[in-house]
Structure 1
Amino acid sequence: MDFVKIILFISLICGLLAEIKVPAGSCVSRIVNGKLVQVGDCKKDDGSEIARLIQKSLDEKKRAELKCDVTYKLKCYRAVVYDAKNVTFNDAEPICKSMNGNLANVYDGAHLQLWRTYLHPLIPAGQTWINIWTGMEYKDNQLLLSNGEPITNATEVWDPHYPDSDTSRTNVAVIVVKNEASEYQGLGNIDPGWVRHGVICEI
């Protein structure tokens, strides 16, 4: 019985040490210890393969580093929040673009609840609430997604004080208050020139 185990062990070791075999005409490229190692029929020698592998490695690293503050329906969202109100709506879009993202939508009550949970601990000390820009708009008595489509379940996402009938309040922010039990939080339509605490971006 020991003899059989020894034979199996030797076979396993030999299999692990065997050179990688690839079908004729194929090329397998890898970066090993900082060097390009190619096995098979690799004819290109213009540096394009190593450039492709380096780019692939950088892309994978970037994806691994991307951390989502909120994930909803397979979409990744990040929030930029400041202690002071210093972000107008015009400031919000470049902030998202700097993270390779766009101004975000809040799609429904469940999505809004995720944001309330995430943003609540970020309310600055000494303040009772924060407002964070989204990419949504309020026009002609309709709540619109950033692509201009109307949102169908708008009533469940508004703060009870909103929507405000002032036609200058065309942009939408998420309002979160320190008292988590308060009903006075949700979406609010805001004048785009007002300063808010930050922005929500979809990455």
Structure 2
Amino acid sequence: MDFVEILFYLSLICGLLAEVKLPAGVCRSQIVKGKLVQVGDCKKDDGSDIVRLIKKSLDEKKKAEIKCDVIYKSKCFRIVVYGRNNVTFNDGKSICKSMNNGKPANIYDIADYKSLRTHLRSMIPAGRSWVEIWTGMQYKNNQLLLSSGEPITIATEVWYSGYPTPDASLTNVVVDVNKDPESATQGMYNEQPSWTRHGVICEM
């Protein structure tokens, strides 16, 4: 190694030390190319820093992967629609859980209902004029309930004609959406959770 190379490496090392110099007692940890790099006064050697940084990195990646079909009052909704009736309510719960641990969605008010219905209309498969989609809401003892069991009141105009029905076996709430926004044959209604529908609205 000649004198010029030695000078080059010394200047490189000095430059790196100058760049990463931190005040006494400060430790900076980050993952660089898959490795933990610590600069400063780093006394922990129990692996907790790497665990914390990996968790933070995974949480940020998960947040970036969540894509919302509809956002309403900071709530994220994802909608899954199939071309035929093949989803029971329990199937809908599994579908939502597989998407960032979501759950079948609540509909909180008429504005929420209208925004979801508009997006649902755009997702109706070719060759169909309507779809029926599970929500996470229930209708029991003549009361509309959120998935938490909390009672909620919603404008009567969102209900399908003749619904909700007091039949005790029709416990779960579905949204029926027609391609024609003016159609009278659409709205929310209650039915048995074992019946199959076109998909589910999920809430993240």
Aligned to 1:74: 74
Deviations 1:106-125 (A, max 9, x none): 01111111111111122122
Letter in 2 for 1:190: E
Secondary structure at the counterpart of residue 153 of structure 1: coil
- Give yes or no for the alignment of 1:92 onto 2:83: no
**Count of residue pairs the alignment pairs up:** 189
Aligned to 2:163: 162
Aligned to 1:11: none
Deviates more, 1:45-54 or 1:127-136: 45-54
- Give yes or no for the alignment of 1:142 onto 2:171: no
Deviations 1:124-147 (A, max 9, x none): 222221111011111122111111
Percent sequence identity is 66
Unaligned runs of 5+ in 2: 1-16
Could you tell me the TM-score, scaled by structure 1's length?
0.84
> Structure 1 residue 21: deviation in Å?
4.2
Unaligned runs of 5+ in 1: 1-16
CA contact under 8 A between 2:31 and 2:37: conserved in structure 1? yes
Alignment of 1:37-186 (within 5 A): 37-99=37-99, 100-186=101-187
> Structure 1 residue 18: deviation in Å?
4.7
Alignment of 1:183-202 (within 5 A): 183-202=184-203
CA distance in 1, matches of 2:33, 2:91: 44
Deviations 1:149-171 (A, max 9, x none): 22123414212342124332111
Could you tell me the TM-score, scaled by structure 2's length?
0.84
CA distance in 1, matches of 2:118, 2:137: 20
Over the aligned positions, Cα root-mean-square deviation in angstroms equals 2.1
Aligned to 1:19: 19
CA contact under 8 A between 1:143 and 1:154: conserved in structure 2? no
Aligned to 1:12: none
Distance 1:33 1:192, change over 3 A: closer
CA contact under 8 A between 2:141 and 2:166: conserved in structure 1? no
Secondary structure at the counterpart of residue 19 of structure 1: helix
CA distance in 2, matches of 1:183, 1:23: 70
> Structure 1 residue 86: deviation in Å?
0.5
Distance 1:170 1:30, change over 3 A: same
CA distance in 2, matches of 1:121, 1:45: 54
CA distance in 1, matches of 2:18, 2:25: 20
Runs of 4+ in 1 over 6 A off after TM superposition: none
CA contact under 8 A between 1:78 and 1:201: conserved in structure 2? yes
